[in-house]
Amino acid sequence: MTGTEPILEVSGLVKHYPLTRGILVKKQIGAVRAVDGVDFTLGRGETLGIVGESGCGKSTVARLLVSLEKPTAGAIRYRGEDITGLSPRALKAVRRNIQMVFQDPYTSLNPRMTVGDIIGEPYEIHPEAAPRGDRRRRVRDLLDVVGLNPEYINRYPHQFSGGQRQRIGIARGLALRPEIIVADEPVSALDVSVQAQVINLLAGLQEEFGLSYVFIAHDLSIVRHISDRVAVMYLGRIVEQGSHTEIYDHPTHPYTQALLSAVPVPDPEAREHRERIILGGDVPSPAHIPSGCRFRTRCWKAQERCVREVPLLAVPETLRTAGGPAAHDSACHFAENSLAGRELR
């Protein structure tokens, strides 16, 4: 399902964490540039997949979207209104509509609370969402909606499997009937066999409740079937974004091409024909981001220009005239729908 009207518009989003030295007198000696200028939109009813390696800033973006943290700069517009400068009261009303599902269902559920109390907890924070007398019934309905037996309402998290616990986390995320769910690696901690079930559940819930999703993963294969659009992050920035077809079948940024080349391909013939790109070196620290293109220290196509000039996220000039699926946002001076890119299907 692809929405047209954006429900969320993110522009120039920045989150820097100060690096300090000294015990009594703290002196700022630098900054961890966890999120360093991110722009994207989320359409109503749409799923945007955000993908990137560990430490590239995905969870920081998630925390900013649900207002768990304040950005250093930039705007987050929900239904056209910037929510970053709202008063605590106005923000509380907005937060009802933008809920988060966390990565680790083992640590994100309080072990001393029953699932009924866990799922019903959002009603304590937003009592206006459900009259007290109706909450138990709602929690039972939510258990049913996520595929758990409503009779389990008095059980504790340790009595459930990982997949079931994530269903409890999802039920809690749905309690306030939000419009947007930010799911931060919701299946990464689960067995592969259970991952698809949880993704299918999320897809079904989207259909049923008209939800919009920001779905975060470290691997392009996880978001493949659920995303309408995909944004690839590297060191605090989006380096390529586009529709499902544009990213999976016509990647133009070397980083995306490398990530895709690592995705398992079930078809043996296709597997034989594709080029495997192994990225050299480590991801640089977000406290010391390379000049020019931040990917240049690991890019096999890097040239002089990449050291000096920051490539902007836009449709590259060379691909614009030809049009077609290769003409989408890519932050590379030498973006091309290369042969390697096409073979990565």
Q: Which residues bind ligand ATP (CB under 6 A)?
A: 17, 32, 34, 52, 54-60, 218, 286
Closest by Cα among 259, 253, 279 to 332: 253
Nearest partner of 121 among 183, 164, 168, judged by Cα: 168
| Residue with smaller CB distance to ligand ATP, 179 or 185 | 185
Number of other CB atoms surrounding residue 272 within 10 Å: 8
Q: How far is the CB of 286 from ligand ATP (least distance, A)?
A: 5
What is the rounded CA–CA span in Å between residue 138 and residue 112? 21
Minimum CB separation from ligand ATP for residue 44, in Å? 26
- Residue 232 makes contact with ligand SF4 by CB under 6 A: no
Rounded to whole angstroms, the Cα distance separating 292 from 105 reads: 39
DSSP of 235-301, one letter per residue?
TTEEEEEEEHHHHHHS--SHHHHHHHHTS--S-HHHHHHPPPPPPPSPPPPTTSPPSSSTTGGG-TT
Answer yes or no whether residue 334 interacts with ligand SF4 by CB under 6 A.
Answer: yes
Q: Considering the complex, what minimum distance in angstroms separates the CB of residue 184 from Mg ion?
A: 6
- Let me know: does 289 contact 298? Beta carbons within 8 Å: no
- Residue choice 63, 229, 250, 333 for contact with ligand SF4 (CB under 6 A): 333
Q: Closer CB to ligand ATP, residue 41 or residue 72?
A: 72
Q: Which of 197/318 has CB closer to ligand SF4? A: 318
Query: In the complex with Mg ion, which residue's Cβ is closer, 59 or 261?
Result: 59
- The minimum distance between CB 303 and ligand ATP, in angstroms, equals 28
- Take residue 114 and report the two structure tokens written for it: 């029953």
Nearby residues of 310 by Cβ (< 8 Å), 6 or more positions away: 292, 293
**Residue 56 binding: pick among ligand SF4, Mg ion, ligand ATP, none (C-beta 5-8 Å cut-off by kind):** ligand ATP
Q: Would you call 202 exposed, middle or buried from its count of C-beta atoms within 10 A (0-12, 13-18, 19+)?
A: buried
Among 43, 71, 105, 311, binds ligand SF4 (CB under 6 A): 311
Rg over CA atoms, the chain: 21
Q: In this structure, is the dihedral angle defined by the CA atoms of residues 35, 51, 58 and 203, taken in order, positive or negative?
A: positive
Neighbours of 71 (CB within 10 A): 22
Whole-number Å distance between alpha carbons of 231 and 240: 6
Q: Closer to ligand SF4 by CB, 56 or 189: give it.
A: 56
Site for Mg ion in 46-65 (CB under 5 A): 58-59
- CB nearer to ligand SF4: give 109 or 332: 332
Which of 97, 301, 325, 343 binds ligand SF4 (CB under 6 A)? It is 301
State which residue, 255 or 334, has the beta carbon closest to Mg ion: 255
**Which of these, 176, 173, 175, lies nearest to 198 by C-alpha position?**
173
Pick between residue 34 and residue 118 the one whose CB is nearest to ligand ATP. 34
Binding mask 260-299 for ligand SF4 (x = CB under 6 A): ---------------------------------x-xx--x
Residue 306: CB minimum distance to ligand SF4, A: 3
Interface with Mg ion (CB under 5 A) = 58-59
Residues that bind ligand SF4 (CB under 6 A): 254, 293, 295-296, 299, 301-302, 306, 311, 332-334
